[in-house]
Structure 1
Amino acid sequence: MPTFANSTQRFSDRVADYVKFRPTYPREIVTFLHDTCGLAPGARVADIGAGTGISAKVFLDAGHPVVAVEPNDAMRASADAWLASYDGFSSVAGTAEATTLADASVELVIAAQAFHWFDPVTTRREFARILKPRGLIALMWNSRLLDGSPFLSDYEALLQHYSTDYQAVAERYGDDQSMAAWFGSEFAHKGCFANAQSLDFDGLKGRLMSSSYAPKQGHPNHEPMLDALRDLFDRTQHDGSVEIAYETRVYVGYAAAV
């Protein structure tokens, strides 16, 4: 597995695009955690690597108090501003490996589109510390479908051609094998949910530029990539938009004994 230096700062200059153009998570995830996994209504949630608060909002809207743990100052400030109206929301400057949260203080730990940046061994120990007995861990990813339409397959080809470390980042996402290995005997449930974004060209450009592997202005691949994106959009749009389809995967289990 490749090593990424200073991963907590990879998104510092992409916060505005991240807020506007990253997909949310299906509300069915919360229902799944309640009905299938036994999460109590109103259980306190720690959102680790919470970013700009996209995943936290899903749980806040469902009536769960959420503490967002986020080491990136710009992203945490964005979450604080966006979610300030929720009485149940708070945030701390912390990492997955050192959350700053109290022992046995939450009933659910989530990590949405973030676990692949964590140290797996230290994180397991920290999650076990902050969770109440038999508290749940839910690790989730929005995984973009790579084919199924001309747009999806050609967008994947564009990323492969122009992006800086796209393949290395994609290979870090959790899959069935790696999640079963991480949870071990404490693995409990997997859920899969359909998700999608309908985007005009500005939205598609913003979604691309919210990704840490997309070359920024000044990089030799930046302008050619945007030209190719414009061509792709024009060829595949329908009524002024394209659809990015995702499978949202959720892996749920308990903290292993430490």
Structure 2
Amino acid sequence: MKPTDKFSGKADVYSKSRPSYPTEYIDYLLSVNSLNETSRVADIGSGTGILTRQLLERGISVVAVEPNDDMRKKAEQDLQQYELFTSIKGSAEATSLPDKSIDLVIAAQAFHWFDQEKFKLECKRILKQEAKVALVWNSRDFTSLLIKENAEIIKKYCPNFYGFSGGIGEGGEIFNQFFRDGQFEYTKIPNDLVMDFEGFLGRNLSASYSLKESDKEFEFFVEAITNLFEKYSHNGKIVMPNYTRSYLGKV
């Protein structure tokens, strides 16, 4: 299955259950990149528009580039009221955006799906001189027993699971290779997620590797997630230790 097809049929549950980004992080992006009402941001691999919405709410013009039809149409439906919102069917490697037209490129929960060298070339083409790229993930905190047990369930039932965020951890040569001269700014902000059962189940089912209802093991997977929620929840809520990590630099 092509990466662009992995989220087909998951747009609704993705939109409902995937977390947004901390206000502190949005403030950081606007400040460090000197973004204002004249700026234009490209959200590449924008999905259902979670981060796109947060930028639009701050008065920033956003071009959302998304190849998956289900995800893109969900964003278009949910964000059509924002005058500063533009939606494009395109890929990270071929956005169709004009040369030197973008003040910041963002890839949220998406960089691990890209052909990174081709994406880098596309960023160089569409970014204004000295403008930057931000790569950001909402990541699980593996010091938590809940997170560790959740990962074990996923490993057991989901054959397409190769690690969260495509296996891209906090460090690694991949970021040194992507950013110009290996220089980038790393930011880490707590973003714990408080969810009811529907949200917790949806968070698991929205993943690209997650089973679908038609899969043989689906009911067993849901049962295991349900038992995990009952083990760690309190008064109908569960807290998933989570943090937002960001890499910002020139390419």
Instruction: Name the TM-score, length of structure 1 as normaliser.
Output: 0.91
Q: Label 1:155 to 1:217 Cα distance change in 2 as closer, same or farther (>3 A).
A: same
After TM superposition, the structure 1 = structure 2 runs for residues 153-172 of structure 1, keeping only pairs within 5 Å, are: 153-168=148-163, 170-172=165-167
Offset, 1:151: 2.4
Shift of 1:171: 4.5
- Residue 186 of structure 1 deviates from its aligned partner by 5.7
* Separation (CA, whole Å) in 2 of partners of 1:186 and 1:56: 27
Question: Which of 101, 109, 112 in structure 2 is aligned with 1:113?
Answer: 109
1:242 counterpart residue number: 238
Q: Deviations over 1:169-208 (max 9, x none)?
A: 5443353222122114162311111112211112111111
Superposed, 1:47-66 pairs within 5 Å as 47-66=43-62
Distance 1:122 1:213 in 2: 24
Out of 81, 87, 93, the residue aligned to residue 85 of structure 1 is 81
Return the letter of the residue paired with 1:187. Q
Equivalent position amino acid for 2:26 in 1: V
**Alpha-carbon spacing, 1:154–1:173, altered in 2? closer, same or farther (3 Å):** same
Distance 1:30 1:170, change over 3 A: closer
CA pair 171-46 structure 1, distance change in 2 beyond 3 A: closer
**What is the CA-CA distance between 1:235 and the residue it aligns to?**
1.5
- The answer for unaligned runs of 5 or more in structure 1 is none
Alignment match of 1:201 (pick from 157, 182, 197): 197
Cα distance between partner residues in 2 of 1:168 and 1:151? 16
Determine if the alignment matches structure 1 residue 98 to structure 2 residue 94: yes
Unpaired stretches in structure 2, ≥5 consecutive residues: none
Deviation at 1:97, TM superposition (A): 0.4
- Offset of residue 220 of structure 1: 2.5
* 1:6-85 matched pairs, under 5 angstroms: 6-35=2-31, 37-42=32-37, 43-85=39-81
Listed one character per residue, the Cα deviations across residues 117-136 of structure 1 (whole Å, up to 9, x for unaligned) are: 00011111101100010111
CA 1:38/1:13 → structure 2, altered by over 3 Å: closer, same or farther? closer
Alignment correspondent of 2:249: 253
Q: What is the CA–CA distance in structure 1 between the aligned matches of 2:116 and 2:186, rounded to whole Å?
A: 19
Identity %: 37
SS for the counterpart of 2:75 is helix
Match of 1:140? 136
2:129 matches 1:129:
no
RMSD of aligned alpha carbons: 1.6
- 3-state SS in 2 of match to 1:205: helix
Aligned partner of 1:173: which letter?
I
SS of the residue aligned with 2:152?
A: helix
Contact 1:186/1:254 (8 A) holds in 2: no
Whether the 8 Å contact between 1:116 and 1:174 is mirrored in structure 2 is no
- Identify which range, 187-196 or 106-115, moves more after superposition: 187-196
- Alignment size in residue pairs: 249
> Cα distance, 1:14 vs. partner?
0.8
Output the CA distance in 2 between the equivalents of 1:168 and 1:252: 23
Counterparts of 1:125 and 1:174, CA distance in 2: 23
Q: State the shift of 1:11 in Å.
A: 0.4
Work out whether residues 9 and 72 of structure 1, in 8 Å CA contact, stay in contact via their aligned partners in 2.
yes
